[in-house]
C-alpha cells in the first residue's frame, strides 16, 4: 500500500507540474497573440511613415500629397494570391502598378524602399534593360564550348515577390515586348540556343517613369502624355500620375521637413542623441525587419476569399452601375471600364485582407480597392473632352472620340487624294487646336505624310 501511495503521490505531482507548464505555455501564447494583434492593428493603419520614412534618403516625398499612392504600394507588398481551377487553369493574384510623374516626385524613392523591405524583390533600370535582362538569357557554359545554360532575368528572379523597374518609359521596345506575356501569364518562355524552357515569373511589377516630354503639360490630358504602348498599359491594375505643382504653403512645409530630417539624420550619423521629435522624423513607424517578417508571414499563411454575399454584391453593384451609367446617357457612349477591373478589384481586396491577417475579404477591403481603382481611372481613363470615363484610353491608347475624329480625317484625306489643314477644316466641325493635334498624331503614327503642301494617306 505504501508503494502504491507513493506512486499515486508521484503521479499527482507530475500532473501538477504538467498543469503549471501548460499554464505558463498558455500565458506565453496569450502574450504572443496580444503582440500579433498589436502588430496587426499597427500595420492595418499603414500610413506614409510606415512606407517611406526610413533614412534621410527618403525625405523628398510629400506623404500627404501621395497618400493614396503610398497606400497602394503598401497593399502591393502583401499582394493577392493565385487561384487554381480543377481544369488546371489559373488566375494570377499578383497585380501590377505604374507610377508616372514629373522629375523629383519621389518615384524612385518608393521603388528603392519596396526593394529593401519586400521579402523577395529585384530592382532594374529600364534605361539599360534588355529583353534577356528582364526575362532570361542563354549563356555559354564555362565548362564546355558547346554547352549553353540559362540566366534568369529580373522578372524571373523576383518570382514570388516584387520586381521594381525604374525609368520604364526609356526601356527598349524588344524588352517591353518580352514583358507582355510574363506580366499576364506569369511565365517566361525561352527558345534560344537549342533550349526550350518555361520559367515562372509569378511576380508583381512596380514600375516608374516620366511622361512623354519629361514633364506633364498642365493643359493636356495626362492620358495622352504616356509614352508607352497600350498593350503594356493594359497589364497594369493601377496607374497613378504624379505632377509637381508649385504651391507656396506646401513647398514651405516640404522644404522645412527636408531640412529638419537631414539635420536629424546628420546628428544620428555623428552618434549624437536625438530628441523624441527628431526620432519621429527619421525613424520608420514600423521597424524594417518587423515589417518584412510580417509581410512574409501574411503571404505564407493568408489566402482570403469573398465569402459574404453582401461583399460580393457590393463589387458587382459598383461594376454594373458604373458601366450602365454610360449607356444610359447615350447608346454611343464609350465603355467606361472593362472586366479586367473586376479582377483588379478582387486582387486589391485580397491584399487588403492580408494586411489584417484575415482569410475573409470584408466590405472595407472591397471599398478600399474600389477607391484606389476609381482614383486611378480618374487620372488615366477619363476623357476631359467628353467629360466621361473611357476604357479605350488605356486599352487602345486613344479615346473613342479621338479615334472617331482621326478616322474622319483619314477618310477626307483619302477622298480628296490629298488635303491641306484648311481643306480638312472646311469639311468638319472640329476645334482647330484639336484638329491640328490629331493631324500631328497621325503623322507621328505614319498613317499620313506631307507631300507638296498636302497631307496624303500612307
What does 302-329 look like in DSSP terms, one character per residue? ---B---HHHHHHHHHHHHHHHHHHHHH
Length of the chain: 458
- Greatest Cα pair distance in the chain: 123
Segment 134-145, tens digit of pLDDT: 888 777 766 656
CB 69 within 8 A of CB 25: no
| Residue 38, pLDDT score | 56
pTM across the whole model: 0.77
- Greater pLDDT, 42 or 335: 335
Q: Looking at residue 34, what is its pLDDT?
A: 58
- Mean pLDDT, range 315-330, rounded to an integer: 78
In the predicted model, what is the mean pLDDT of residues 68-74? 88
For the segment 191-231, what is each residue's pLDDT rounded down to a tens digit? 776 778 888 889 999 999 888 878 887 766 677 778 787 88
Q: Name which of 295, 128, 285 is nearest 204 in CA terms.
A: 295
- Separation CA 104–CA 115 (nearest Å): 19
Q: How confident is the model at residue 306 (pLDDT cuts 50, 70, 90)?
A: very high
- What grid cell was written down for 72? 497602394
CATH of domain 303-392: 1.10.8
Q: Which residues pair with 12 in a beta bridge?
A: none
Paired residues of 97 in beta bridges: 206, 238
Q: Which residues contact 58 (CB under 8 A, 6 or more apart)?
A: 52, 106, 109, 113
Question: What pLDDT shows up at residue 303?
Answer: 94
User: 242: helix, coil or strand?
Assistant: strand
Q: What is the chain's Cα-based Rg? A: 28
pLDDT at 307: 92
CB 389, CB 337: distance < 8 Å: yes
Report DSSP state, residue 154. Answer: H
CA pair distance 288, 293, nearest whole angstrom? 9
What H or E segment, with its residue span, contains residue 63? none
CATH-assigned architecture of domain 400-457: Orthogonal Bundle (1.10)
Which helix (H) or strand (E) segment holds residue 153: the answer is: none
Which of these, 302, 308, 307, 311, lies nearest to 358 by C-alpha position? 302
424: its cell numbers:
480638312
Q: What is the homologous superfamily of the domain 48-265 according to CATH?
A: P-loop containing nucleotide triphosphate hydrolases (3.40.50.300)
Q: How many angstroms separate the CA atoms of 134 and 111, rounded?
A: 17
Q: Which of the pair, 37 or 308, is modelled with greater confidence?
A: 308
Residue 46 banded pLDDT, cuts 50, 70, 90: very low
* Residue in the structure block whose three cell numbers are 524588344: 174
Query: Hey, where are the domains in the chain?
Result: 48-265, 303-392, 400-457
Which residues 6+ apart lie within 8 Å of 375 measured at CB? 68, 240
What gap in Å lies between CA 124 and CA 154, rounded to an integer?
7
Q: How far apart are CA 397 and CA 292, in angstroms?
A: 37
Helix then strand count (H, E) for the chain reads 18, 15
Amino acid at each position: 500500500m505504501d508503494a502504491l501511495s507513493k506512486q499515486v503521490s508521484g503521479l499527482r505531482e507530475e500532473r501538477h507540474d504538467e498543469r503549471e507548464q501548460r499554464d505558463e505555455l498558455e500565458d506565453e501564447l496569450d502574450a504572443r497573440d496580444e503582440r500579433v494583434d498589436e502588430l496587426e492593428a499597427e500595420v492595418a493603419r499603414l500610413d506614409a511613415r510606415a512606407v517611406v520614412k526610413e533614412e534621410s534618403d527618403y525625405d523628398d516625398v510629400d506623404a500627404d500629397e501621395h497618400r493614396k499612392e503610398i497606400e497602394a504600394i503598401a497593399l502591393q507588398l502583401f499582394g493577392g494570391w493565385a487561384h487554381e481551377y480543377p481544369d488546371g487553369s489559373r488566375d494570377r493574384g499578383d497585380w501590377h502598378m505604374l507610377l508616372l510623374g514629373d522629375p523629383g516626385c519621389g518615384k524612385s524613392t518608393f521603388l528603392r524602399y519596396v526593394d529593401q523591405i519586400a521579402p523577395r524583390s529585384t530592382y532594374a533600370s529600364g534605361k539599360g534593360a534588355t529583353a534577356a535582362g528582364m526575362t532570361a538569357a542563354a549563356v555559354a557554359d564555362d565548362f564546355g564550348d558547346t554547352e549553353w545554360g540559362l540566366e534568369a532575368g529580373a522578372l524571373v528572379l523576383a518570382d514570388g515577390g516584387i520586381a521594381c523597374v525604374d525609368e520604364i518609359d526609356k526601356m527598349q521596345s524588344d524588352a517591353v515586348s518580352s514583358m507582355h506575356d510574363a506580366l499576364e501569364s506569369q511565365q517566361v518562355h525561352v527558345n534560344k540556343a537549342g533550349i526550350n524552357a518555361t520559367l515562372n515569373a509569378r511576380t508583381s511589377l512596380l514600375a516608374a517613369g516620366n511622361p512623354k516630354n519629361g514633364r506633364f503639360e498642365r493643359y493636356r490630358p495626362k492620358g495622352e502624355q504616356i509614352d508607352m504602348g497600350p498593350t503594356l498599359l493594359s497589364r497594369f491594375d493601377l496607374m497613378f500620375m504624379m505632377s509637381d505643382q508649385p504651391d507656396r504653403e506646401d513647398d514651405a512645409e516640404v522644404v522645412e521637413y527636408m531640412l529638419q530630417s537631414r539635420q536629424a539624420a546628420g546628428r544620428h550619423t555623428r552618434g549624437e542623441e536625438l530628441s523624441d521629435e527628431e526620432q519621429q522624423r527619421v525613424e520608420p513607424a514600423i521597424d524594417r525587419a518587423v515589417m518584412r517578417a510580417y509581410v512574409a508571414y501574411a503571404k505564407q499563411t493568408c489566402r482570403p476569399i469573398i465569402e459574404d454575399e453582401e461583399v460580393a454584391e457590393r463589387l458587382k453593384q459598383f461594376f454594373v452601375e458604373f458601366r450602365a451609367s454610360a449607356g444610359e446617357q447615350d447608346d454611343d457612349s464609350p465603355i467606361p471600364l472593362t472586366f479586367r477591373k473586376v479582377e483588379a478589384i478582387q486582387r486589391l481586396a485580397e491584399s487588403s485582407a492580408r494586411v489584417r491577417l484575415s482569410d475573409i475579404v470584408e466590405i472595407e477591403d472591397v471599398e478600399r480597392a474600389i477607391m484606389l481603382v476609381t482614383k486611378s481611372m480618374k487620372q488615366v481613363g477619363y476623357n476631359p473632352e467628353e467629360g466621361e470615363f473611357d476604357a479605350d484610353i488605356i486599352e487602345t491608347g486613344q479615346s473613342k472620340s479621338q479615334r472617331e475624329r482621326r478616322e474622319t480625317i483619314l477618310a477626307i484625306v483619302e477622298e480628296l487624294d490629298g488635303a491641306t489643314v484648311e481643306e480638312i477644316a472646311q469639311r468638319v466641325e472640329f476645334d482647330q487646336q484639336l484638329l491640328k493635334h490629331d493631324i500631328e498624331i497621325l503623322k507621328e503614327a505614319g498613317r499620313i505624310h506631307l507631300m507638296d503642301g498636302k497631307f496624303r494617306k500612307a
